[in-house]
Amino acid sequence: MNQLEQIRAQQTRVLLIESDPTTRDMLQQWLTEDSALVLSAGNGQHGIALLTSFQPDVVVCDMRLPDRLGLEVLEIAQRVCPDSRVIMTSAVSDTVMVVQSLRLGAADYLFKPFKQPVMLLHAVRRAASDARLMLENRRYREMLEEKNRELNESLRVLREDQEAGRAVQLKIMPPPQKSYGAIDINFRIKPSLYLSGDFVDHFTISKNQVGFYLADVSGHGASSAFVTILLKTMTNRLRKRYEDVSRRVLLPAEILERANEEMLSMGLGKHLSVFCGLIDFEAGQLVYSSAAHYPPPRLFMANHVHVLEDHGLPVGLFQNPGYQNRTVPLAGHFELWACSDGALEVLDGASLALKEQKLVEIMEQANHNVDNFLSLLGITEQASVPDDIAVLLVSGQC
């Protein structure tokens, strides 16, 4: 809005429809002296013509015009200038006419002759203030609608971007369930945004060996998802190299050492916790190493629950963290449950220890099913969660 437009917007615009020239001139003078911008018409036809072009804030219209009824003008004004307010004037005191004006939505009704400007100016100022309020209300609503459209559009663009990113992230994840001989691997990831900083991978290491890990990158969303890409390329490469050399075994602690090196050299300012495991189903053993993974995974076997603890440092923070390989013999049916700490955040509980206990109960109740696990946690498809949640179940027979 330029300066002129601003002044015009502040000045009350009044349309005066009055057939008597003396009255018209007098009213016009009063209103102009009261700093209104006034246009006047001597009959209904001319007045109606000015309505659309002038868009007055206030119409002051006589009940008796030479060519029309004032009530007709009132009705038309309400339709073509819905933001304006209409004041009716009349020389006769006729209750029926007043009531009709009221029904048609007039703002005021003034009796002539006017001796002094005070009544008219008061009525016009009040009507102008009402008109301005109506206009402001409408503009505010339009502004809200426009803002809504803009926000929706920005959100659509960002969401589409995140969804495209999510599609790429899903492509690099292995299938959510797969059997490796006698070993079944199942996992689910529930991201808190579209992109996840939780990541699971599993793969064949040799004829008798299957490897897997569950990683939880600090933070969530795009920046953490970047790290999952990095992890995946690294493990892809390691596996490839070990396939070539074929003799050596790729052990969990070694994978963690490599990941730590890579993270430090990239300088992304991110770190992660990882639980990395290997099951040798010929040797009948689980080898694992943990980089600050919490809560510690549970191994259910022969009515006993083993806590897979290991106090390794997080990946990406320290030089030479010295990861260890731990070995657990496997016999008969076993179930290994691991999940990221996001699962603890959705549980009620007075302390972390109590929450962890609840989590282990849920693992037992889940009946060998990762979807049951999530639903026992209260996680639905639609639910939003404060942090990414990953759950991994490795089960089998040794």
Site for a second copy, rule CB under 8 A: 93-95, 98-99, 101-103, 106, 108-109, 137, 140-141, 144-145, 147-148, 151-152, 154-155, 157-159, 161-162, 164-165, 167-169, 171-172, 193, 195, 219-223, 225-226, 229-230, 232-234, 236-237, 240, 262, 265-270
Q: Which is nearer to a second copy, 92 or 302 (CB)?
A: 92
Q: Least distance in Å: CB of 154 to a second copy?
A: 6
Rounded to a whole number of angstroms, the minimum distance from the CB of residue 207 to a second copy is 22
Question: Considering the complex, what minimum distance in angstroms separates the CB of residue 65 from a second copy?
Answer: 20
* Cβ proximity of 222 and 162 under 8 Å: yes
Distance between CA atoms of residues 26 and 366, nearest Å: 89
For the chain, counts of helices (H) and of strands (E):
11, 16
CB of 391 to a second copy, least distance (A): 23
- Pick 113 or 349: Cβ nearer a second copy: 113
Nearer to a second copy, 135 or 172 (CB): 172
Q: Please say which residue, 226 or 294, places its beta carbon nearer to a second copy.
A: 226
DSSP structure string for 342-382: HHHHTS--SSHHHHHHHHHHHHHHTTT-HHHHHHHTT--SS
CB of 196 to a second copy, least distance (A): 12
Phi, psi for 242 (deg, rounded to 5): -75, -30
Residues facing residue 337 across a β-bridge: 298, 393
**Residue placing its CB nearer to a second copy in the complex, 256 or 301:** 256
Residue 236 or 365 with smaller CB distance to a second copy: 236
**Minimum Å distance from CB 270 to a second copy?**
7
Q: Minimum distance between the CB of residue 157 and a second copy, rounded to whole angstroms?
A: 7
What Å distances lie between residue 147 and 144, 159, 161, 270, CA to CA? 5, 18, 21, 36
What DSSP state is assigned to residue 64?
B
Pick 94 or 364: Cβ nearer a second copy: 94
User: What separation in angstroms does the CA of 200 have from each of 16, 72, 190, 313, 367?
Assistant: 77, 76, 12, 19, 21
How many CA atoms lie within 13 Å of 156's alpha carbon, on the beta-carbon side?
6
Cβ-based burial of 67 (10 A; exposed 0-12, middle 13-18, buried ≥19): middle
How deeply is 217 buried, as exposed, middle or buried, from its count of CB atoms within 10 A (0-12, 13-18, 19+)?
buried
CA pair distance 147, 141, nearest whole angstrom: 10
Nearer to a second copy, 211 or 297 (CB): 211
Shortest Å, Cβ 4 to a second copy = 28
